[in-house]
Amino acid sequence: MLQTTFTQKYDEMVLVKDIGFDSICEHHLLPFMGKAHVAYLPNGKIVGLSKLARAVELLSRRPQVQERMTEELAEVLMHELDARGVGVVLEATHTCMTIRGIRKPNSRPGR
């Protein structure tokens, strides 16, 4: 997924915030959409910033739950970059909460 990496000694956190995404809740088959905030601590390997957004885009295309998408993004970064650490936060509006059931339009779970 993060095929092109570069060898680079860099010991600061790399962060891309507010990466927009849309997905489908596998429980209700209703959309959820939001923003991903993705960070990693390099371990001698970096990737172009657009590749982080591409990883969010690719993982968001299938039916799922927000928790799994968060975990999968973190695993991809750890595995493919051999990162010293990662942080992934997804903030999303779930239409299963806003248009049916509890009907709380301003709620945004973060994972």
Q: Where do runs of H (alpha helix) occur along the chain? A: 49-60, 66-81, 95-98
Rounded Cα–Cα distance for residues 37 and 26 (Å): 22
The three-state secondary structure class of 53 is: helix
Q: How far apart are CA 75 and CA 85, in angstroms?
A: 10
Which residues are identified as catalytic?
25-28, 66, 94, 96
Distance between CA atoms of 80 and 67, rounded to whole angstroms? 20
